[in-house]
Structure 1
Amino acid sequence: MRSVAFSAIFLATGLGSALAADPTGDWRVADGVANIRVAECNGSMWGAVSWEKTPGGRDKNNPDVSKQSRPTLAMPILIDMKKKPAVDQWEGQVYNAKDGQMYSTTIKPVGSDQMEIQGCVLGFLCGGETWTRVSGPIPSSPTNSMAKGAPKGTGASPKSTGALPKSVQTATAPAAPKTTGAASPAAKPGQKQAAGQPPDIGDICLLPDIARFAH
């Protein structure tokens, strides 16, 4: 009995540690205006707006005029985050749709249901916030295997047309083809979405604004 008890404790501890170190999944930003879906795309962590409290947002503060009309839903926020050696932290860039600027940032899972986001401008004026887990973790995208030369499946990445983005904001676009990288299932053909809810964005690695940089 003692052996079984110790095994159960070890298993629970191991699972808790694995979950704590996994930044993938959907996260609610600190002010609650959006969820950000984080997934691994070809070895890097990326994040895109998967839900917005007020649907229909546009990237109106982007300094690139051609991007000011793009939807904030499905817009990349966390850009090409690389894991730091020996620690459960990822470094890259975050796009702040509130001012249209990119910032250096670090993400760090804290426990199983929170993630710290730390961003800096030119190495100073640093600030951060804590996001709360909504769902996940999620499996690795099939596009990761495709990028490594494995046989291609049925979900080839669409051609890219995109743009870059950064911190807490909102997004929703047409549902991407469902893959194992999706945190929640998309509606079936002919099935109506819940009132006021946009379609699920699916596997963010297939989003054009991410695919063009991640592959």
Structure 2
Amino acid sequence: MPRPLCTRCQRPLAHCLCPLIPSLPSRASVLILQHPSEAGHALNTARLAALGLQRAELWVGECFEELAGVLDAHGTGARLLFPGEGARILMEPWPQTEQTSLLVVPDGTWRKARKLLYLNPRLAELPRVALPQGLQSRYRVRKAPVEGALSTIEAIVHALSVLDAPLRFDALLQPFDALIEGQIQAMGRDTYERNHALRDESSA
């Protein structure tokens, strides 16, 4: 019999993360576009991000018919968080005059995220912003596919911490850290130390 799930965070009731999920204000709105393959993922940090931010929405799908209207409503204040040619590295806050700022974040593997851009041409037309190099993920139980790769929730925290400075969003990572710690406990601390911690030290 499947374990009962929390209807909010979608975690097993015995491991519900809701008490750790904050309710953080932000000046920028966040729209997370999640590929369907990610919706059932055990981690699903995009859902945690959407629950923890007051001005965030999570849409699941491949083609988003409502997207054009949302982008039109935000005018020149919309940005796509995705690396690529012409992407501006996030180094300074959004101008205070941009009250309709919108950060659009694709959620999926690199291949699936690129597919979202292909299927939704308005996404590809948006000005792109990217995170600076050298950031380290806190996801300690899986090797990043490329150097500097972050989970969706980590990327959003880093981006908003720059765009909405001096506001801070570190509290958004509390349920993420608890989720990782739960995975470590499930595999056994000895197994983690043997297979992951030593690997991290050797690559440092």
Same fold (TM over 0.5): no
* TM range, smaller chain: under 0.3
TM-score, normalised to structure 1's length?
0.23
- Which protein is richer in helix relative to its size? 2
